[in-house]
Every structure is written in structure tokens, then in C-alpha cells.
């Protein structure tokens, strides 16, 4: 038995077949044509699904999960990712369901990408066995998901825990979502790179001027690059402290491309968190890197689909209704 999975993000569309132990059997990937028309985006999704369907393990497909940048509407099966403008209320579940290779009777399950990451980390990663956790994806955007009382909480539409759209700067710049001063305006990979460039940092010749390049420069001591990461860490710390005050978190897990910067991100984050998390029940909440790296969205999408079809105990995290 295998579970199909898609992970739709602002930079890549990834797909996988995942086994019952949460191991990826086969992967497929295409770049996200994020600024292109809806049809080109749909074609990229179909190409990934084509590649998965060509693998022999597809014959054992039992369910299919889709993780997507949000907002999503898990009930309607539609997505409206902030960083993919052409998709507004796009029927992604129907696109995947009607693929010629999708077996009859399988209805894909949709969840926000950060909730999927949370499901993965709670099933097989850094939040395993943790009763109350916040899991964050810091990448092209910033998302999050919650584990409450030992169960992943997706919310009514699959968007619960979307920490990237908590306001941390009341008079800050407009976020792509339309609100001012969201965490995402300071802590996303896009924001980190933009702030570093605004401070005068430039990437070496032939190197893309993105957050990964900024992280490399910060690791080599560039003060402007380090300042960009410090600014991002401060926003994340404020949001983490606020969330911990609301639900008494036991652990915070951070993944996504920006988290690959390691201590360049985590050291200033811990420093700023000590300033914001001062109440006894908030102070000292552990912040750790995600264990499943860039496969978390895929594994979580598979886990969510498995839970939805009532897989046996131990094969997927329980989800709150």
C-alpha cells in the first residue's frame, strides 16, 4: 500500500508516493510557474502526477493527499495561495481526482502545507510524542500548524495555525495577503533577501540573490546579511511567544528552506525569544529544527490522506475534526 502526495509551493510543485512507514518511495518535481496563467500551473501539477503514475508502486495507491500553500478550503477542495496569483478558488482536488491515472473512488484530501508539515513532524519527526506543538514552515512564505492535546488541529478549512499572518508590526508594509506587518513581511525567504539587498548586500556574480545566498554571506560574517536574518528571527520570536501564551506550547519545530540556514537563524531566534517569552508558562519553550527537512510536506499530505481514510493505528496522526 502506498499513499500519493503533492506539495504545492511558491517555488516548486513536488509529488511522491509514500509507504506505510512514512518513507518516500519515489519523488517527482517541477518548478512552480507562479506568475503564469492558471492553465500552466495546472499543467505542471499534471506533469508531476504523470511521473508518479508511471512508477510501478502506483498500482498500490490507496489514497491521495495534497498539501498547498494557503489559504486553502479543504471542504471545497480549492486553493488560493497568496504567492500564486493566478489561483484564486482553483479546484485543485478536482484536477488531481480527474487525472486519467487516479483510481476510481479516490478523492484527494486537501490540507494547508504547514498543517501537512505538522502532521509529518508529529507522525515521524521532531514533534513525535509531543502533546502541544507549533510547527512552522519558513520558506517563500511563512506558515504553521498546531498539535493540541496530542492531535493535529487543521481547523474548519485546513488553515489553523497560519502564524505567518500574525501581525508583528502594526504600521508595517503590506503583506501579499493584504494586511500590514505580517510575520511573513519580515521572516520569509523573500523578505530576508529583499532586506539584505536594501541594506546594500549583493550576491556574488552568478549567484541568485535569494535567502540561501544571504545565509551563506551571513555565515561568512557579512553584517548586512546577518542583520537581515536577525530581523527575521525577531519577528518569528514575537509570533512564537504570542502563540505559546495562547496555547502553552511544549515545543516549536521550524522547517522549510530558510531553516536550512541553521544557527544563522536559530541563534538570533533564541536570543529574541528570551525577550518576548517572559511569563513562567511561556519562558523556555524549546525551538528545534524540523527532522524531515524538505520531505515534510509530502509525508504530511500522505499522513493526512491516510488518516482521512481511517488507516490503522500507528500509520498516521489523529486529526481533530
End-to-end distance of the chain based on CA atoms, in angstroms? 25
Q: Which domain holds residue 280?
A: 128-290
On whether residue 245 sits in a domain, the answer given is: yes
* SS3 call for 17: strand
On whether residue 199 sits in a domain, the answer given is: yes
The verdict on 148 and 269 lying in the same domain is: yes
| Residue-level pLDDT at 318 | 44
Q: Is the dihedral of CA 283, 288, 294, 297 positive or negative?
A: negative
Domain count across the chain: 2
What is the spatial distance between Cα 231 and Cα 268, in angstroms, rounded to a whole number?
Answer: 9
Which cell is 11 given? 517555488
Tens of pLDDT along the chain (321 residues) come to 999 999 998 889 999 999 999 999 999 999 999 889 999 999 999 999 999 999 999 999 999 999 998 889 988 999 999 889 999 999 999 999 999 999 999 999 999 888 999 999 998 999 999 999 999 989 888 989 999 999 999 888 778 898 999 999 999 999 988 999 999 999 999 999 999 999 999 999 999 999 999 999 999 999 999 999 999 999 999 999 999 999 999 999 999 899 999 999 999 999 999 999 999 999 999 999 999 877 889 999 999 898 876 544 344 444 543
The verdict on 40 and 72 lying in the same domain is: yes
The verdict on 76 and 186 lying in the same domain is: no
The verdict on 269 and 142 lying in the same domain is: yes
The verdict on 246 and 270 lying in the same domain is: yes
On whether residue 235 sits in a domain, the answer given is: yes
The verdict on 81 and 189 lying in the same domain is: no
On whether residue 178 sits in a domain, the answer given is: yes
What is the spatial distance between Cα 49 and Cα 271, in angstroms, rounded to a whole number?
Answer: 43
**CB-based contacts of 24: which residues, under 8 Å, 6+ apart?**
16, 17, 18, 295, 298, 299
User: How long, in residues, is the chain?
Assistant: 321
On whether residue 268 sits in a domain, the answer given is: yes
| Residue-level pLDDT at 41 | 95
The CATH number that applies at residue 182 is 3.30.420.40
Which cell is 96 given? 488531481
What is the spatial distance between Cα 41 and Cα 268, in angstroms, rounded to a whole number?
Answer: 37
The verdict on 178 and 248 lying in the same domain is: yes
The verdict on 152 and 82 lying in the same domain is: no
Beta strands in the chain (DSSP E): 2-8, 12-19, 24-31, 61-68, 72-73, 78-79, 109-112, 133-138, 142-148, 151-153, 251-255, 287-289
The verdict on 170 and 135 lying in the same domain is: yes
The verdict on 179 and 89 lying in the same domain is: no
On whether residue 64 sits in a domain, the answer given is: yes
The verdict on 157 and 278 lying in the same domain is: yes
Which cell is 80 given? 488560493
The verdict on 136 and 260 lying in the same domain is: yes
**CB-based contacts of 58: which residues, under 8 Å, 6+ apart?**
2, 4, 17, 52, 101
pTM listed for this prediction: 0.84
What is the spatial distance between Cα 120 and Cα 21, in angstroms, rounded to a whole number?
Answer: 11
On whether residue 321 sits in a domain, the answer given is: no
On whether residue 14 sits in a domain, the answer given is: yes
Amino acid at each position: 500500500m502506498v499513499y500519493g502526495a503533492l506539495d504545492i509551493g511558491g517555488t516548486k510543485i513536488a509529488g511522491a508516493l509514500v509507504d506505510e512507514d512514512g518513507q518516500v518511495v519515489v519523488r517527482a518535481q517541477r518548478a512552480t510557474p507562479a506568475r503564469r496563467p492558471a492553465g500552466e500551473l495546472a499543467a505542471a501539477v499534471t506533469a508531476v502526477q504523470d511521473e508518479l503514475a508511471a512508477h510501478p508502486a502506483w498500482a498500490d495507491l490507496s489514497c491521495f493527499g495534497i498539501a498547498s500553500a494557503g489559504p486553502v478550503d479543504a471542504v471545497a477542495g480549492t486553493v488560493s495561495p497568496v504567492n500564486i496569483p493566478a489561483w484564486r478558488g482553483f479546484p485543485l482536488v478536482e484536477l488531481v481526482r480527474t487525472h486519467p491515472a487516479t483510481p476510481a473512488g479516490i478523492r484527494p484530501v486537501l490540507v494547508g502545507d504547514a498543517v501537512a508539515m505538522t502532521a509529518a513532524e508529529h507522525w515521524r519527526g521532531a514533534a513525535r510524542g509531543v502533546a502541544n506543538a507549533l510547527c512552522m514552515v519558513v520558506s517563500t512564505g511563512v506558515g504553521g500548524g498546531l498539535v493540541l492535546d496530542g492531535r493535529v488541529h487543521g481547523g474548519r478549512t485546513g488553515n489553523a495555525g497560519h502564524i505567518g499572518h500574525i501581525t508583528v508590526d502594526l504600521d508595517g508594509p503590506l503583506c501579499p495577503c493584504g494586511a500590514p506587518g505580517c510575520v511573513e513581511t519580515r521572516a520569509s525567504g523573500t523578505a530576508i533577501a529583499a532586506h539584505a539587498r536594501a541594506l546594500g548586500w549583493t550576491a556574488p556574480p552568478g549567484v541568485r540573490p535569494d535567502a540561501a545566498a544571504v545565509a551563506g554571506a551571513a555565515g561568512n560574517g557579512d553584517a548586512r546579511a546577518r542583520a537581515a536574518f536577525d530581523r527575521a528571527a525577531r519577528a518569528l520570536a514575537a509570533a512564537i511567544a504570542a502563540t505559546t501564551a495562547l496555547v502553552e506550547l511544549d515545543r516549536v519545530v521550524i522547517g522549510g528552506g530558510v531553516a536550512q540556514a541553521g544557527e544563522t537563524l536559530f541563534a538570533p531566534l533564541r536570543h529574541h525569544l528570551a525577550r518576548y517569552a517572559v511569563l513562567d508558562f511561556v519562558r523556555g519553550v524549546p525551538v528545534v529544527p524540523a527532522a524531515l527537512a524538505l520531505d515534510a510536506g509530502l509525508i504530511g499530505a500522505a499522513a493526512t490522506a491516510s488518516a482521512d481514510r481511517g488507516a490503522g493505528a500507528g500509520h498516521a496522526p489523529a486529526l481533530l475534526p
